[in-house]
Amino acid sequence: TQVGDVHPDVASVAGALTPSPGGVGPLTIAMLLSNTVRAAEMRRGA
């Protein structure tokens, strides 16, 4: 069983919690790729 690292007591004060497994991993990867493409375009002068 995979367990996250957030204590359940913080749910009432946290802005957001993500499930484990899954979480924000796919979004993080998408944003890293987006930033990489943007940086390459800026470097190229597009």
The structural domains of the chain, with segments of one domain joined by +, span 8-44
Interacting residues of 3 by C-beta distance below 8 A, sequence separation 6+? 20
Mean predicted confidence (pLDDT) in 36-45 = 95
**The model's pTM:** 0.50
Closest CA to 25 of 41, 9, 2, 7: 2
pLDDT tens-digit map of 10-28: 888 888 777 776 667 777 8
Average pLDDT over residues 18-43: 85
3-state DSSP assignment of residue 26: helix
pLDDT category at 1 given cuts 50, 70, 90 is: very low
